[in-house]
Every structure is written in structure tokens, then in C-alpha cells.
Structure 1
């Protein structure tokens, strides 16, 4: 059976504030924990007024402490901004606190504007661009997580505390073949960010699997893909819910980002020009909208195309109860279950 997880960006909904958004994230995570979702990942973005958090590791600790079963992780840590050693320390500590429940997803994207990059990297890396260090950072991160820095390493003998006999799952996040190649070469798991609306994901995952080299991180290739979904009892309602996402990304595309996720009503009342309408129509290729049966059919086909048995669902829905309901309908359609729900039934 296809496994489903969740990727959440903690959007601040129109008419609400950051505290409301963080509470919405917690409510959804707790619902997902009971519904049988496999993972709950949180993104890293900086200087986005419409997003409530910029530190996934803090959110991971908060969500993990208020749930009991679901894996919690980053989707992802933007590694070029940071020391691989410090990231290893943070996630070893999280793994020690919440055994066998922590995912460390990392990426090389900036997660913000050039000004954000300068602020986060102030005084660092004078001789090379930070992203150019990313492959070496992945190698270093794997070494720190395994207490296995080689004798000729520049920090030979350094260990990341706390020293524990487990590791968080390490995932490389990407939307290109380059990251797929790096994940295959280092023997790590690979997550494709299809919700960005990028093409070529099927080829990237296939390349990853074909060239995967077993490692201490994983003996076999392991992949997933993230996709935008809106599910409701009727197709019309699902389309209505997706309108918030449509307008939000139209504004981003036109370089006039909104300070909130607009309500479905605001989106419905907006006067779209012909170019915007054409763009919305085009993006429907990358999004799944409909009733539970319609969404299930499309997601199963999507998973088959990507040769994966796990998907992360991204649902930017303004009404948090409607968002939770969307995930409830998916859980019912895919017959997700947990030991808790089985016992209660």
C-alpha cells in the first residue's frame, strides 16, 4: 500500500497571525499522527511574511513532543547556510530525544532572497560560493552522524554529541538530476520536490535508483516525491479550496508576494487576466484536485510514474479545518491506519 506523509510550510492564513499558523501546524500534525500518516516534514524559508517559521529543527522538537508515533523531520535544512557539524549535533540530539522518529532532510536551495543569503552567511566562505560546498557537506554530515570522520579529514577524530547508537534518516531533497546523482553516490535517500511544478522528476528518481551505491546510511535506494493536493467531498469544493494556492503562487510568480495565504473567497473574487488563467490551467498538470476517489486514482498513477511507494502531500488550504478534512479523506481513501486506531475500532 502506498504510504503518505505531509510537508507543511506553516502558512499564515489571511485574517490570522503567526501564532495561529503555528497552532494550525500542531493541530494538523496531531491529526496526522492519529490518521496513520508516515511522516510530518517542515520546510525552511527565510524572510517570507506569509510563513510562520524559519527553523525546522525547533518545530521538529515541538511537534515530536506533542505526537507519539509519526516520524517528524525537515523538508529541509538548507545546508549551505550552516555547519554540517552543527546540523549533525542538532539532529543527533533530536534522535536521542525521540528515538526512531526523526528525519533529516537537507537541500542546497537558499530558501530566501540574495539578501537573506548574505545575512545567513555573513563572514563565511570568502573563497567560494556556499552552494559549491554542498557535496562535501553531505559527505561530512554522513561522517559526523556515524562517528566516522576519516583519519585524513580536516577535523579527524571530531564527534557530534550526543553519541548514540542510532541515526536520523538522512534524505537529500531536490528538484533536479544533480541532487539525484549526489544522493545515489552517497547512498542516501532521495526526495523529489514535485510540488514546485518541476518536470523531469520521473527521470531523476530513475537515475537515482539505477546509480544508487549502498552505504552505511541505506543498503537500498529509498525515494519519495512531494505533490500538491486538495481533496474534498465534491470536486467543486476541492477546486474552491485550491484557489488559495493558485492566487498565492500567481502573486509569487509576478514578484508581488502576499503576506498571507489568501482565503478561497479572496481568491475567487480576484480578477485574473488571461495570462494568469492560462498559468493556473497549466499548473493543474502538477497538482491533484478532486474527490477522494479521484485523488486516490491520480496519486496511485503518480507514484507508479515515479516508481515510489511513498508520497508527501502538500496542502496549502486556508481553512485549517478544511485542510485537516482533506487529509482525513485521503487517509480513509488509502485505508491508512495506526495501532491506536485499530485498537479503538
Structure 2
């Protein structure tokens, strides 16, 4: 085990429990972000998912503004913006404004996955990125457009033989750090080609991480913004005073992921007592056990050692924790105490 202390960050999908309204889930996220800020976590990223009753992270730029305004020092960003869902100029304008409001604290993580089902994706992309295949095909071009539009000089758009200037803000003084995200080798290759920082979605996939990071590092081409490969790891975590308690708290999220993987309905997250009453068929129980084995679930010392071990295994000095601990019956709707405690226990 490495003795090196790994830098910690946070990924938040803004989960919605079945005892919460959307306002409660948002209040829980703001409370969690303040805890991360106070504990010295490096960054706090918010995901993009649509039309999912269990997840309130539908609009990263809006959430980033809320979280950055509620914190003082932590970097805040998207994990990530699903670029094919949006016009590149809109994304550039949103994040350039965020950077202007919170200079030096904004990250723009970009992905190409839909973040939803095909019908919702069509509704999102109609008039703002084209049909699905076209949007994905033009993803590298969209990335270039976002990068260029946020630069102080902007980009020139050719219209009838004339160059029309496009700038994300009238007078940019700084630019957010822009990352490419992915769960396959596509984004690893693209990030390496463009000389951009890259993150593999280890928390979601759990497989192929080493191969994707090796591909990124071995094919990386330096850019004016980045001289060497830059990456970190994401991992699901439930940490409590004892292993047994951490395992109980992980159950609701494990069952939610089971529904996602098996085509079930993704309802608001169960409370712990409800999750404990669910009886799974053997095949599903095996799948849950396999997922849990890839997560960090346990008491503080072992959980922190596991994170440092993962960092050493994959050659990263930062791990982004997705705190997945659930809640018990009677928990205040506007808080997620077990998620907050996961961050506290890992920070030591």
C-alpha cells in the first residue's frame, strides 16, 4: 500500500430518495458541497442525467452556479456536460459566464453519452445538436468549437465568404479547465489527440479502466494548455464507522444500479430499511455482489487504504469519490447525513 495521501474530490448525481422532493435533494447537495469545501476536497463535479426520477442532476451549469455560490474555495464543474445534447455555443457561453463569476474555480467536463433514454435524447437534441448519430459523429468538432469560443479572441465563423466573430463572453479574462470524460476508449483517444485532460468513468463501468488510461497516456500529444497527460479516478464509496454499517448504507444505491443494468424502472432511491427487505433472485444477487466488490465500502481506515491502493494501481494522484451511502427512515429530507459522513471519514 502506498503511504502517499491521495487528493480527494467529489462527484454528485444529486440523488433523490423516496422521502424527498426535488427541493430536498438540492438542499442535500448544497449541504454536501459545503462539507466537501470545509474538508479541503479538490473539486466538486455534478453529472447530467435526464428524465430519471432517482436523479435531479438535469442541468450541470445551473447546479454549478448554485454550488459555487454556496462554497468558497473548492473547484466546481460538470461530470459532465453531454455535449451532443447541446449547441456548442450555448455550452461555451454557460461556462464562460460561470468562469467570469467564479474565476479559477470552474471545470468543464465534456462527454458524448446521451445521459438518458433514446426518446428523451431526441427531445433534448431536436434543434440543438441534430439527431443522435449526427451529434455523435460531429462530437470532435463540437469540442473544438467549445474550446475556441471560450478563448478571449473567440472564433471566426465563415458566413457567405465573411468571417463572423463568435465569443462566449464579451471580455473573457480566464478560461475553465476543460476535461474529456468517457467510459470507452473513444474519449481516451480523442483527449490524447487534442492534448486534453481525461477521466475514465470507473465508478460506472468498473472495467477497462487500466486499458483506457494506458491508451490515453501512450498516445498523448502535448498541447499549449497541457504538456503531459492529466487524469484521475472516479469511484463509488460508502464509508461508515463499521463495515456492516457501510454495507447497509450502500444497499439502496446498489439496488438502483441493478435496476439500471437490468432494464428495471429507476424509481426514487429506497430508504435503507426498505432496501433490506428486498429479496433478489440469485442471478441479480450475484450482479449486486460483483458491483459492490468494485466499490469502496467499509470502515474508515480500510476504505481510505483502498482509495490509496486504487490511486497507486492506476497511477493517479487524485480520486473523485461518488458518495453513495443511503439514508434511514426519519432522516431530515434536506440532508444526506451518511453521504456527508462518508466524506468526513475519508478525509480523516
TM-score, length basis structure 1: 0.92
Match runs of 1:224-303 below 5 Å: 224-303=232-311
Q: Is structure 2 residue 111 aligned with structure 1 residue 107?
A: yes
Q: Secondary structure at the match of 1:267?
A: helix
Q: Which residue of 2 aligns with 1:335?
A: none
Distance 2:207 2:16 in 1: 28
Distance 1:128 1:229 in 2: 34
Question: Which of residues 129, 135, 154 is equivalent to 1:130?
Answer: 135
Q: Secondary structure at the match of 1:312?
A: strand
Match runs of 1:67-82 below 5 Å: 67-82=71-86
User: How many angstroms does 1:283 deviate by?
Assistant: 1.3
Structure 1: where are the runs of 5+ without partners? 333-345
Q: Which residue of 1 aligns with 2:23?
A: 19
Distance 2:257 2:78 in 1: 22
User: How many angstroms does 1:170 deviate by?
Assistant: 0.3
User: How many angstroms does 1:162 deviate by?
Assistant: 3.6
Distance 1:31 1:308 in 2: 24
Contact 1:230 1:326 in 2 (8 A): yes
Distance 1:127 1:268 in 2: 39
C-alpha spacing 1:204/1:148, structure 2 compared with 1 (3 Å):
farther
Distance 1:21 1:104 in 2: 23
Could you list the per-position Cα deviations for residues 33-77 of structure 1 after superposition, in whole angstroms to 9, with x for gaps in the alignment? 000100110000010011123101001001111100000000110
Q: RMSD over aligned Cα, in angstroms?
A: 1.8
Q: Secondary structure at the match of 2:189?
A: helix
Distance 2:176 2:250 in 1: 34
Q: Which residue of 2 aligns with 1:210?
A: 218
Q: Secondary structure at the match of 1:157?
A: strand
Question: Which of residues 53, 59, 76 is equivalent to 1:55?
Answer: 59
Contact 2:14 2:56 in 1 (8 A): yes
Distance 2:158 2:189 in 1: 23
Distance 2:119 2:133 in 1: 17
Q: Secondary structure at the match of 2:203?
A: helix
Question: Which of residues 307, 317, 339 is equivalent to 1:309?
Answer: 317
Contact 1:170 1:217 in 2 (8 A): no
User: How many angstroms does 1:12 deviate by?
Assistant: 0.8
Q: Secondary structure at the match of 1:63?
A: helix
Q: Secondary structure at the match of 1:194?
A: coil
Matched residues, number:
332
Q: Is structure 2 residue 340 aligned with structure 1 residue 324?
A: yes
Question: Which of residues 141, 144, 150 is equivalent to 1:139?
Answer: 144
User: How many angstroms does 1:152 deviate by?
Assistant: 8.1
C-alpha spacing 1:212/1:156, structure 2 compared with 1 (3 Å):
farther
Distance 2:269 2:199 in 1: 25
TM-score, length basis structure 2: 0.91
Q: Secondary structure at the match of 1:195?
A: coil
C-alpha spacing 1:34/1:150, structure 2 compared with 1 (3 Å):
closer
Question: Which of residues 11, 20, 37 is equivalent to 2:41?
Answer: 37
